[in-house]
Amino acid sequence: MSVARYFDEMSYGPAPEADGEARAWLKKHETGFSHFIAGAFVKPAEGQYFETAEPATGAKLARVAQGSAADIDAAVSAARAAQVKWAKLSGHARARHLYALARAVQRHGRLLSVVEAIDNGKPIRETRDIDIPLVARHFYHHAGWAQLQASEFADQVPVGVVGQIIPWNFPLLMLAWKVAPALALGNTVVLKPAEFTSLTALLFAEIAADAGLPAGVLNIVTGDGATGAALVAHDGIDKIAFTGSSEVGKLIREKTAGSGKSLTLELGGKSPFIVFDDADIDGAIEGVVDAIWFNQGQVCCAGSRLLVQEGIAETFLSRLKHRMQNLRVGHPLDKAIDMGAVVAPVQLERIKSLVAAGVAEGADLFQPDIPLPSGGCFYPPTLLSNVQSAASVMREEIFGPVLVSMTFRTPDEAVMLANNTRYGLSASIWSETIGLALDIAPKLQAGVIWINATNLFDAAVGFGGYRESGYGREGGREGAYEYMKPKAWAKRKPRIASTLPAAQPAEDGFGLPHLDRTAKLFVGGKQARPDGNYSRAILDPKGRKIGEVGEGNRKDIRNAVAAARAAEGWSKATTHNRAQILYYLAENLSARAEEFAARIAAMTGFSKAKAAAEVEVSIERLFAYGAWADKYEGAVHQPPLRGVALAMNEPIGVVGVICPDEAPLLGFISLVAPLIAMGNRVVVVPSEQHPLSATDFYQILETSDVPAGVINIVTGAARDLNKTLAEHDDVDALWVFGAAELSATAERLSVGNLKRLLTDHGLVTDWFDAAAAEGPILLRHAVQVKNIWIPYGE
C-alpha cells in the first residue's frame, strides 16, 4: 500500500506498545508472586497459588499466591506493629514518603501502564494517559494532607489498621485512591487486590519498598473472595474500605455488624446520561463514547442509561450509531484502539446473558459491523434502545460496553427516570443552558454530577454514592475524614447498663388523686395515640410512677416515616428559614426552662442545679445549630482542568434516631438539632427510661413554626423500634446511641437499602462537652456531599 493511499483512506494501522520490560518482569516472577508482608515478599502460609490469564489472548499470565487466614493474620500483625510508629511520625515525614511514592510512580509509569493493560485488558492509551497520571496525582495530593494534618485535622486521630479490598476494573488507580489517604493520615494498610488483576499492586509494592516506605506500613495479600472474607472478619482491623458490587458490600455490612469497624463502601451504579434537546449533539455523542465504552464499560459510574429528550432522540440515536461504526476494538497494547478486552470469560458471559435478556424483553439491539480480534474476551460496543424503565437491562448493572436508551419529554420526567434506580453513584447532564443543568443537578439522587462532561476524576474532589451505591467518600477533604476519627470520641468508655427501679405501689388515701396524664406520640405535627393503644409507666429513681407514655410499634414507625417523607419541603427550605426556627425552638424552651429542669430532676434524680444546667446547655445547643444551619457550607474545588467542582452538602432525607438514657433532654436535642439544621426530617425514639422531657418538647414544637412531619417522636422500647427503623427501606439513615446491641442490630438489619449509619457501639458520649457532641463532629454525618463538575468553555 502506498503512502498516498494511506492519506487517501486515513485508515488506522497497528501501533503496538513495546512490552519487553513488562514481559521481562513477569518472567522474573514466573515461579509465582508472593504476598508482600512486613516489607518483604513471603510465600503463602498454605503454599497455594492460582493462575491468572491475559484477557486479550486467554494465555496464562501469572501464578499468584492464594491468601489464607494465616496470611491475613501475619499482615495485620505487621500493620499493627508499624501503625504506632507511623502515626507518630511528623506529618512532614509522612508527606515526604508519599511524595517519594508519587515520584516513583512517575518514573515507572510506562512499566506500570503496560502491565496494567496486559493484566486488565484495557487500552494502553487509558492506562498511560488516565490511570497512571491519576495514581501519581493521588499520592501528591495526599502528601499535602499529611503535611497539613496537624493544623487542618487537629481534632482527629488516625483510625488505625485499615483493611482495603479493591476491584479489577481500575486495579492500580483503586489502590492509590485507598492507600494514599490512609497512609497520609497515619494509618497502616492491609490490601487485597482483585483476584483477576493483582499484578500492578505487587509491582507497586516493589516500587514502594525501593522508595523506602517503612516495613509493615503497606501489606498486600492476594487471593480470592475467601481471602477478602478473612480480612473483613479479622479482629485486628479497625476499618474496611471496599470497592465492588453492592451485593458484596451488603454482605460486608452484615458481617461487620457490632464489630466497631468503620466502613467505606463504594459500590455499583446504573448512572443516567441525560441529553436535553438544546445540547451540543456531537459533543454529547463523544460524551457517550467516554461514558460507556471507556474501559469496555467496566466502570462503576459508567453512563449506562441514556435518556434523550424526545425531540432529538431520532437524530441523536442515528448519529450515535454512525459513531459506533467507527469505534475500534483491538489488542490492549495497540495505541490506536478505542476498546480492549473484557477482564475474564465469566464477565463476558454475564454481559452476553444480560443483553439476551434485554432483547427478550423487547429492546432493539444495535451492534456495529466492526471486526473483533479472534480469541480473548472481546465484546462489541452495544446499544439497546426503546427499553422500558422496568426492564432488567435498565435496572441491573451490566458492567460491560452496553448502553441502554429511552426517551423523556420534560425536565421533570428526566429527573423521575434518572432517579428510578436503587443506585445513586453518578449522573451526566448535557445542555447548552447552564441554568437548566444547574437546576437539574440538585434533584438527581447521586453523589457525582458531571455537566457537559463525564468520567472526570481528581484526588481533590470527593467521589462516592447515595443509596445502594454505598456511603463514604474517596478523595478531597471529605475522603480524608474517612481515615480518621474524632479525638473526642477516641476515649469514650463503655456504657454501664442502668437497672430499672422496682415499681412502688401507688399511695392510697382519700385526698385528691393526681390527674391522669399519658403522653401521646407526635407524628406529622400532631399528638397521636399509639396504634396498639398500649402505654408504659415511667418511674422515678425510687420506683414511683411519674407518668406514662405511648408504647409505639411497627405501624407507628410506618406512620412517622410516611409523615417525614411527606415533609420534603423542609429539605428545600432556605438555610436562613431553618436557622430562624431553631432559634425559635431555643427561645420557647428558654421560656419553660424551670418546668423542663423540674421534669429532668423528677425522672433522673439529678440535683436541681444539674437539671437546670442540662436545660441551659440544650438551649445553647439549639442556638449553636441555628448558627450552623446557614454556615455549614460546601466548597469549590479547583481540579486540574478548565472548570470547577462544587462540593454541595445535601440533606440525607429521612433519618431515624435512637436516643440514649443519659442526659435525656440534652441527648435528644444534640442528635435531632444537627439533622434538622441540615434539612433532614427525623423519626426519633427518645430515651426509653426517661422520655418525658422529649414528650414535653413536642409542645415546644407545636409553638415554634416547625412544619408538620419534620420531627416525629415515637416512644417505646428502643430494641423493638430500632429494629423496625433499621429494616425500613424508606429510612435513609439511622443514628443509634445506646446499648451496644442496638448498634449491632442497626448495622446488621440496615443492609436492605444500605442506609447510612452513625452508631456509638455502646460507648458513652459526654453530651455536655461541645467537642464531643456539637458542631462538625455530627454535622459531617448529617449531610451527604454531592460533587458537581462544571467545565468551562465551548
pLDDT band with cut points at 50, 70 and 90 for residue 497 = confident
Q: Which positions ≥6 away from 360 have C-beta within 8 Å?
A: none
Region 141-164: mean pLDDT is 97
DSSP class of residue 295 equals G
pLDDT band with cut points at 50, 70 and 90 for residue 518 = confident
Specify whether the CB–CB gap between 153 and 185 falls below 8 A.
yes
**pLDDT of 504:** 73
Annotated catalytic sites, by residue? 266, 300
pLDDT tens readout for residues 687-732? 999 999 999 999 999 999 999 999 999 999 999 999 999 999 999 9
What is the per-residue burial (b if ≥16 Cβ within 10 Å, else e) of 73-93? bbbbbbbbebbeebeebebee
DSSP class of residue 20 equals H
d(CA 486, CA 514): 47
- Specify the pairing of strand 484-486 against strand 156-158: antiparallel
Region 605-619: mean pLDDT is 95
pLDDT tens readout for residues 626-636? 999 999 999 99
* Percent of the chain scoring above 90 in pLDDT: 91
User: Which residue has 505487587 as its cell numbers?
Assistant: 202
Element (H, E) at 484: strand 484-486
pLDDT tens readout for residues 660-682? 999 999 999 999 999 999 999 99
**pLDDT of 9:** 66
d(CA 340, CA 582): 56
The average confidence (pLDDT) of the chain is 94
pLDDT tens readout for residues 683-695? 999 999 999 999 9
Question: Which three cell numbers, joined as nine digits, stand for 399?
Answer: 458492567
Question: Which three cell numbers, joined as nine digits, stand for 435?
Answer: 441554568
Assess whether pLDDT exceeds 60 at residue 30: yes
Region 386-394: mean pLDDT is 92
pLDDT tens readout for residues 274-304? 999 999 999 999 999 999 999 999 999 999 9
Q: Considering only 4-8, 389-393, 594-598, which range has the smallest mean pLDDT?
A: 4-8
Of the two residues 99 and 504, the one the predictor is more confident about is 99
CA neighbor of 260 nearest in space, from 462, 492, 496: 492
| Maximum C-alpha span of the chain | 118
Long-range pairs of 745-752 with CB within 8 A, sequence gap ≥ 24: 745/257, 745/719, 746/658, 746/722, 747/253, 747/254, 747/256, 747/257, 747/258, 748/254, 748/257, 748/258, 749/723, 750/253, 750/726, 751/250, 751/251, 751/253, 751/254, 752/727
pLDDT tens readout for residues 213-270? 999 999 999 999 999 999 999 999 999 999 999 999 999 999 999 999 999 999 999 9
Region 417-443: mean pLDDT is 95
Q: Considering only 379-383, 508-512, 770-774, which range has the smallest mean pLDDT?
A: 508-512
pLDDT band with cut points at 50, 70 and 90 for residue 482 = very high
pLDDT tens readout for residues 229-243? 999 999 999 999 999
pLDDT band with cut points at 50, 70 and 90 for residue 356 = very high
Assess whether pLDDT exceeds 80 at residue 5: no
pLDDT tens readout for residues 305-344? 999 999 999 999 999 999 999 999 999 999 999 999 999 9
pLDDT tens readout for residues 183-220? 999 999 999 999 999 999 999 999 999 999 999 999 99
Assess whether pLDDT exceeds 60 at residue 515: no
- Specify the pairing of strand 545-550 against strand 518-519: parallel
Q: Name the residue type at position 80.
A: R
CA neighbor of 697 nearest in space, from 575, 536, 557, 527: 527
**pLDDT of 730:** 96
pLDDT tens readout for residues 748-779? 999 999 999 999 999 999 999 999 999 999 99
Assess whether pLDDT exceeds 90 at residue 547: no
Element (H, E) at 331: none
d(CA 532, CA 145): 54
Q: How far is CA 141 from the centre of its chain?
A: 21
d(CA 130, CA 113): 10
d(CA 324, CA 468): 31
**pLDDT of 496:** 85
Assess whether pLDDT exceeds 80 at residue 3: no
pLDDT band with cut points at 50, 70 and 90 for residue 546 = confident
Question: Which three cell numbers, joined as nine digits, stand for 201?
Answer: 499492586
pLDDT band with cut points at 50, 70 and 90 for residue 537 = confident
**pLDDT of 519:** 87
